[in-house]
Structure 1
Amino acid sequence: MTTLMLVKPSLVELPSYKAALEAGWSPDNVRKTVAANEQRERIATDAAAFVASLDDPDAAGGPIPLPDGSFIARLPSIVRWMWDGEFCGSIGFRWQRDTAVLPPHVLGHIGFSVVPWKRGRGYARLALMQILADARQRGLPYVELTTDPDNAASQKVIAACDGEMIERFRKVAAYDNAEALRFRIRLTDTGT
């Protein structure tokens, strides 16, 4: 039986990651092809810097782009690659220091994307369960994740990890005011 692991991105796994990008997969569920193209370009320019940028718990990297082309300050964040012997997808976790509350332009603490040819194996659920351990270690009382209303697969993954829908809302203008669902996963008994 194959075991899914979350691995810190490195140059060793990079060829498999790059192959997924070239096959049309994107780690960004909002900016999709644009983000994938940006990443391919960054890998071609400086693969080591690209890999290093994915683990940024001190928010040392530069600003990040929003779908409308504007830029915002980076939050502390980490990205882990789903790995079962080859690249399966990615999961990212971002946070603000000293609070579980995120700025309005940050849609959630955690985002994930599984490559199409590895979907249906439970990898998103396993990855989410594993990254929640990191969130607990950072002392967060809860994490929030958002999905589009028609993304039943992600909603099922979140529910399987004890996520509860807390609201239907409109994203900020940078995301075209699109409708979304916000879920919360409690990490402590006293979290709000």
Structure 2
Amino acid sequence: MITLVRPDLDHLDRYIEALERGWSPDNIRLKVAADEQLQRIAVDALGFVNGLDDPEGKQPPLKMPDGTTMRRLPGFHRWIWDDDFCGSISLRWEPGTSALPPHVLGHIGYAVVPWKEGRGYATEALRQILPMAREAGLEEVSLTANPGNPASHRVIYKNGGTLVGPFTKPDVYGGGEGWLFRIGL
């Protein structure tokens, strides 16, 4: 049984341990993103955890994979938890619409630590965050996955997702093909 936990100092040590073990909440920037987070935590742990819950989009601009920065959308992160840290899931949105700006690949992103994969945690975390997306005013959510990631495809399909089709990732994400999915709320 998993729960979604709002990031806080009480759970931060297990999050840090996952980052130090090589896990990253960012499936594009991987180790670079994990190292940046470890640095931010070392400088201001409370500011770091508080910044992961930003429903008004007041945090600093978002650093893109190519190094550019873009306006940050309202959103929040939740940590996936059983009796320990299992991963993270995030929701972001553009107020008043289900559409997203071009620099945002999807409303929801998730990453499970490798030592807890294959247990259905991502599927359950996505199921639990969908009502929160409805509460944020969304009528549908978009998610993206790489074509060669059938595990992520299954997570989305098990939550009522449909494949919209292939798309070309923006240059800031390195280009290449991705698959776009939607889940109606």
* TM-score (normalizing by structure 1): 0.95
Distance in 1 between residues matched to 2:69 and 2:136, nearest whole Å: 26
Q: CA deviation at 1:176?
A: 1.8
Provide the aligned C-alpha RMSD in A. 0.6
Aligned pairs for 1:91-130 within 5 A: 91-130=89-128
Give 3-state SS (helix, strand or coil) of 2:182's partner: strand
2:86 to 85, 88, 100: 88
Aligned pairs for 1:1-192 within 5 A: 3-187=1-185
Give 3-state SS (helix, strand or coil) of 1:143's partner: strand
Letter in 2 for 1:84: D
Q: CA deviation at 1:67?
A: 0.7
Distance in 2 between residues matched to 1:161 and 1:87, nearest whole Å: 22
Segments of 4+ in structure 1 off by > 6 A?
none
Q: CA deviation at 1:139?
A: 2.3
Distance in 1 between residues matched to 2:180 and 2:42, nearest whole Å: 36
Deviations 1:26-64 (A, max 9, x none): 000111111000000001111000000000001110101
Deviations 1:72-112 (A, max 9, x none): 01000100000112100000000000000001110000000
Letter in 2 for 1:16: R
Calculate percent identity across the aligned residue pairs.
Answer: 53
Letter in 1 for 2:26: D
Point out the more displaced range, 134-143 or 17-26.
Answer: 134-143
Distance in 2 between residues matched to 1:47 and 1:98, nearest whole Å: 32
**Where in structure 1 are there 5+ consecutive unaligned residues?**
188-192
Distance in 2 between residues matched to 1:175 and 1:82, nearest whole Å: 25
Give 3-state SS (helix, strand or coil) of 2:10's partner: coil
**Where in structure 2 are there 5+ consecutive unaligned residues?**
none
Q: CA deviation at 1:141?
A: 1.1
